[in-house]
Amino acid sequence: MRRLVVAVGPRRLGLLPRRNTRTGKESLLIKEMPQVMPVHIYHEKQRRELCALHALNNVFQDSNAFTRDTLQDIFQRLSPNTMVTPHKKSMLGNGNYDVNVIMAALQTKGYEAVWWDKRRDVNVIALSNVMGFIINLPSSLCWGPLKLPLKRQHWICVREVGGTYYNLDSKLKVPEWIGGESELRKFLRNQLQGKNCELLLVVPEEVEVHQSWRVDA
């Protein structure tokens, strides 16, 4: 699994390689305004058809939050009579592990996934009570470096790190800077206007119980 931890400030200005003198390996430092201390972002990169796994680990900012075996066990528990395969038709379309696996995985960590009603305005989301967002959307299929004229449903993560929101799509080379709360709401609106796009709010159990992910709760 390809994993990347990058240091970022409020705006991405450029990528600079930094060599570790002990290991000889290079990491990426996204250098920003020098007076701002950088924060570290965990960004798990795409491997095979495991975007649900990457989205979950990116939400928790932890490479060990979930593994392929963990999600496969949950999948088998939910579908005990199904052949062992991560490709299962879901309520959100054809994407690797379906939304039921993601919801069950979150529950093992004391979190819930709130399915967002697209008829509601994202202004009513109480962002301080939401750990992150998992979005299901169409994404182009690639064969090596080639982008095919086909699309398939894909899971991505968006969350706040160090006071700034980032798109942690596992297909991106580096985290994509979104900005503050107003920029995030604009980003979510734009995504939800797309065809076959669904939004999940990742919240602690008590937030889901009291519905305090809404400012009008």
- Please state, in angstroms and rounded to a whole number, the distance separating the CA atoms of residues 17 and 101: 37
Quick check: 58 and 165 in contact, CB under 8 A? Answer: no
Catalytic residues: 51, 154, 169
| CB burial string 15-37: b at 16+ within 10 A, e below | eeeeeeeeeeeeebebbbeeeee
- Please state, in angstroms and rounded to a whole number, the distance separating the CA atoms of residues 160 and 202: 12
Nearest to 167 by CA among 65, 43, 56: 43
